[in-house]
Amino acid sequence: MPQFRKRPVVIEAEQFTGVNAEQISDFMGRGVGLLNDDNPDSTERKLMIDTLEGTMIASVGDWIIKGVKGEFYPCKPDIFAATYEPVA
């Protein structure tokens, strides 16, 4: 069976901390929906991210990635760590 290697691509990403929805909104260039904003425990907050596949929910710790065509989507932290590394 043929095998393929993922091309190296530099991406932009912001990690959702539960209190930085405005920063992520600025990063995305549009507003994001914030769920559980009235909950004082910021770890319970979630973001609604409009993606090419529809609206996805990002939890605290998830990374919001800007794709190669300018699209945005959330990524779980363990997948992010296994897939990406910082660029010097």
Band of residue 3 on the pLDDT scale cut at 50, 70, 90: very high
Tell me the per-residue pLDDT of 26-83, one tens digit each, with 9 for 90 and over: 999 998 888 887 777 778 899 999 999 999 999 999 999 999 899 999 999 999 999 9
C-alpha dihedral sign at 16, 50, 25, 34: negative
Tell me the per-residue pLDDT of 11-21, one tens digit each, with 9 for 90 and over: 999 999 999 99
Predicted pLDDT at 63 = 98
- Whether 29 and 14 have beta carbons less than 8 Å apart is answered as no
16/87: higher pLDDT = 16
Residue 42 half-sphere exposure toward CB, CA atoms < 13 A:
8
Predicted pLDDT at 5 = 86
